[in-house]
């Protein structure tokens, strides 16, 4: 049997966690007075917008959550309502980060407050969110969906991947590793 749909989401979480570690390190470095490279910040924003939000949250919100809802899981409250709310908070923080990076690039580097604050916000949000999905949502999903349904969900995920571009997924996986190396060296 192939991979379960929930397994692919779990694997994407590992990649997202790597980038969350990068943001934590960048925010710490900034507190010590080290200025991050604009290029690193731009890559970070792109990763969050495309890989984390469009691809990963897209799979969850457009396919997994509605399927669970159809199976009788309530959309409000725990866990779906909370998870959707956290996705929305994440989007807000990423938009704030994107704005802060733009200002930073224009040389308004005295205004580092919003840059650090949005990164710290995401560092606080993500591990908690991922924990809930890995330990509550996915085990629950594996209990609710039969093999055929997991397979169907997997096929829908593959359509998302194709739409975004398979090489794009791989590029972001690499980017996460490159950013982590870079921050460690710094």
Q: How far is the CB of 160 from Fe ion (least distance, A)?
A: 13
Question: Judged by CB, which is closer to Fe ion: 36, or 87?
Answer: 87
What is the dihedral angle through the alpha carbons of 10, 11, 12, 14, rounded to the nearest 10 degrees? 90
The residue among 5 and 133 lying less far from Fe ion, judged by its C-beta, is 133
The three-state (H, E, C) secondary structure of the chain, written as one string: CCCCHHHHHHHHHHHHHHHHHHHHHHHHHHHCCCCCCHHHHHHHHHHHHHHHHHHHHHHHHHHHHHHHHHCCCCCCCCCHHHHHHHHHHHHHHHHHHHHHHHHHHCCCCCCCHHHHHHHHHHHHHHHHHHHHHHHHHHHHHHHHCCHHHHHHHHHHHHHHHHHHCHHHHHHHHHHHHHHHHHHHHC
- For the segment 67-106, give every residue that binds Fe ion (CB under 5 A): none
Q: What Cα–Cα distance (Å) separates residue 154 from each residue in 1, 2, 132?
A: 12, 9, 21
Member of 133, 141, 145, 183 binding Fe ion (CB under 5 A): 133
Per-residue contact flags (x/-) with Fe ion for residues 1 to 40, judged by CB under 5 A: ----------------------------------------
Choose between 60 and 154: whose C-beta lies nearer to Fe ion: 60
| Binding of residue 138 to Fe ion (CB under 5 A) | no
Contact yes or no for 105/113 (Cβ under 8 A) = no
Least spacing, CB of residue 110 vs Fe ion, in Å? 35
User: Minimum CB separation from Fe ion for residue 162, in Å?
Assistant: 20
- Among positions 41-60, residues that touch Fe ion (CB under 5 A) are 60
Q: Closer CB to Fe ion, residue 11 or residue 39? A: 11
- The CA distances from residue 95 to 87, 89, 105, 145, in Å, are 12, 10, 15, 34
Report the nearest approach of Fe ion to the CB of residue 9 (Å): 5
Smallest distance from Fe ion to CB 43, Å: 21
Closer residue to Fe ion in complex, CB, 44/60? 60
Pick between residue 13 and residue 44 the one whose CB is nearest to Fe ion: 13
- Judged by CB under 5 A, the number of residues near Fe ion is 2
- Footprint on this chain of Fe ion (rule: CB under 5 A): 60, 133
């Amino acid at each position: 049997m192939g991979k379960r749909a929930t397994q692919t989401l779990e694997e994407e979480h590992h990649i997202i966690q790597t980038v969350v570690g990068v943001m934590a390190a960048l925010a710490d470095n900034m507190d010590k007075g080290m200025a991050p490279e604009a290029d690193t910040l731009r890559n970070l924003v792109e990763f969050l917008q495309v890989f984390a939000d469009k691809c990963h949250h897209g799979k969850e919100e457009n396919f997994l959550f509605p399927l669970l809802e159809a199976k009788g899981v309530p959309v409000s409250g725990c866990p779906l309502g909370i998870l959707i709310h956290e996705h929305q908070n994440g989007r807000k923080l990423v938009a704030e980060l994107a704005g802060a990076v733009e200002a930073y690039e224009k040389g308004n580097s005295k205004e580092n407050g919003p840059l650090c604050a949005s990164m710290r916000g995401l560092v606080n949000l993500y591990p908690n969110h991922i924990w809930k999905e890995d330990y509550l949502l996915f085990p629950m999903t594996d209990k609710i969906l039969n093999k055929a349904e997991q397979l169907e969900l997997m096929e829908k995920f593959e359509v998302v991947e194709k739409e975004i571009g398979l090489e794009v997924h791989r590029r972001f996986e690499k980017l996460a590793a490159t950013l982590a190396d870079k921050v460690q060296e710094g």
